[in-house]
Amino acid sequence: HNVQNSRYWGKLYQKSQLGGGESREDYWVDFYESHTQKIREFAMKHLSLTYVEVELENPRMAEILEGYTRVKRSCVMDCHPGPKWVRENN
């Protein structure tokens, strides 16, 4: 399993090192999106888990999480900018 993960993440890293014009920012956006997909795939293989996905930039994020997890929205702090914010503001 670790070898498979190493190959997966290593491939993503190597892609960024090929000089294909990808910026450091693009590398991290790709990393984030690839990692998110791996989490989705894990959740689909383990259907006993409850998987909730909400964009951190969504103004209703705390309300949505409270609905699924019962963690009070007042406990959810404002997030740091994610890939969507970076793309829209760079």
First to last CA, the chain: 37
The pTM of the full predicted model, rounded to 2 decimals, is 0.55
Q: In which element (H, E) is residue 80 found?
A: none
CA distance 39 to 16: 21
Residue at token pair 């450091």: 24
- Give the pLDDT score at 6: 53
C-alpha distances out from residue 88 to 29, 48, 65, 81, Å: 13, 36, 24, 10
Q: Is the pLDDT of residue 7 over 70?
A: no
Across 17-21, 56-60, 65-69, 73-77, the highest mean pLDDT is recorded for 65-69
Is the pLDDT confidence value at 38 over 90?
yes
- Read off the amino acid at residue 41: E
